Amino acid sequence: MLTLKGDDAMTAVTEAKEWVRMERLSKVYPNGTTAVKEVDLSIREGEFLCFVGPSGCGKSTIFKMITGLSNPTGGKLTVMGTTANEARKRSDTAFVFQDHTLLPWSSVIDNVMLPLALRGVSRKERQQEAERVLAMVGLQDHMRSMPRELSGGMKMRASIARALVAKPKLLLMDEPFGALDEITRQTLQLELLSLWRQDPEMTILFVTHNVFEAVFLSTRIAVMTPRPGKIDDVIDVPVPFPRDETFRSTPEFGRIVHSVSMTLKH
Ligand SMILES: Nc1ncnc2c1ncn2[C@@H]1O[C@H](COP(=O)(O)OP(=O)(O)OP(=O)(O)O)[C@@H](O)[C@H]1O
């Protein structure tokens, strides 16, 4: 299996399958706002691609189109070789928002089982799968807790578990760690990289305003311009995985942060 996630990361890049293809993709909302204008981007299997850009540049709109929650008004979008709607119906895509969106009246495990219940999976299988992903995110001792009993970081772990339970190939995360304190955020970054590396096929698209976070996590960074949203540049982060805390203090990290920041400013 080819992977972008090992030490030979960059040699494999050109051979991986194309998971998302945007060709002159555009979105004009009914009120006339052009949120996304003629974006061209190809995203490959196993990538960790971050979108950075100023507020209102269309990052969430691109995510909504990839998950089939909003239709493009121009151009072409292919997700897993089919339409965005079809990919969502096949459970190929899953979404994690900044707000954890857990149901407050359901326990952690019931929240995590919900996507499988909606698909008619048997109670026994739902339980097994939910226990599996809750263990992956370190919440095995909190399965019966209610969301209000969890810290912010634990709620986000539960949200990630709920997204992973249907084994999506493409995980979209819209500022998932934006509301967390810096230490929790850095811990979850490491945990997310570890989850991503466990599944060679899994591709993560991640929106953040934080350039340091983007550089730490990504294989590539798409830098967007202010409205109407376009991709200004796509910057490689050619640093092999696994990455650990020491990466944040290397000259290479500083060089890439500088390059992304300069692209954002010009
Ligand atoms: N449903 C809508 N109807 C009309 N305009 C919209 C709608 N949703 C978003 N917009 C506008 O489209 C533009 C892009 O919005 P979007 O939420 O995609 O940006 P963003 O980059 O994700 O912003 P942020 O970083 O602040 O979350 C903004 O100008 C926004 O006001």
In this structure, what are the phi and psi dihedrals at residue 93, rounded to the nearest 5 degrees?
A: -120, 150
Residue ranges of domains in the chain, CATH in brackets = 9-92+168-265 (3.40.50.300)
- Mean pLDDT of all residues in 73-102: 89
Please check the confidence at residue 67 and state whether its pLDDT lies above 50: yes
pLDDT above 90 covers a percentage of the chain that reads 70
Q: What is the band of 1 on the pLDDT scale with cuts at 50, 70, 90? A: very low
Is the CB–ligand 1 distance for residue 35 below 6 Å?
yes
Integer angstrom CA distances of residue 155 from 130, 160, 249:
15, 9, 29
Under a CB-based contact definition with an 8 Å cutoff, are residues 121 and 148 in contact? no
Closest CA to 219 of 229, 231, 205: 205
Integer angstrom CA distances of residue 116 from 30, 110, 129, 161, 222:
34, 10, 9, 12, 32
Q: What is the band of 8 on the pLDDT scale with cuts at 50, 70, 90? A: low
CA 217, 220, 223 angle in degrees (round to 5)? 105
Is the CB–ligand 1 distance for residue 16 below 6 Å?
no
Gap from CA of 62 to ligand 1 centroid (Å): 10
Closest CA to 22 of 46, 54, 49, 2: 49
Strand ordering across the sheet containing 34-44: 34-44, 18-28, 74-79
Please check the confidence at residue 136 and state whether its pLDDT lies above 90: no
Which pLDDT value is given to residue 6? 67
Integer angstrom CA distances of residue 227 from 19, 33, 70, 163:
26, 9, 18, 30
- Among 31, 52, 61, the mutation site with the greatest number of ligand 1 atoms within 8 A of its Cβ is 61
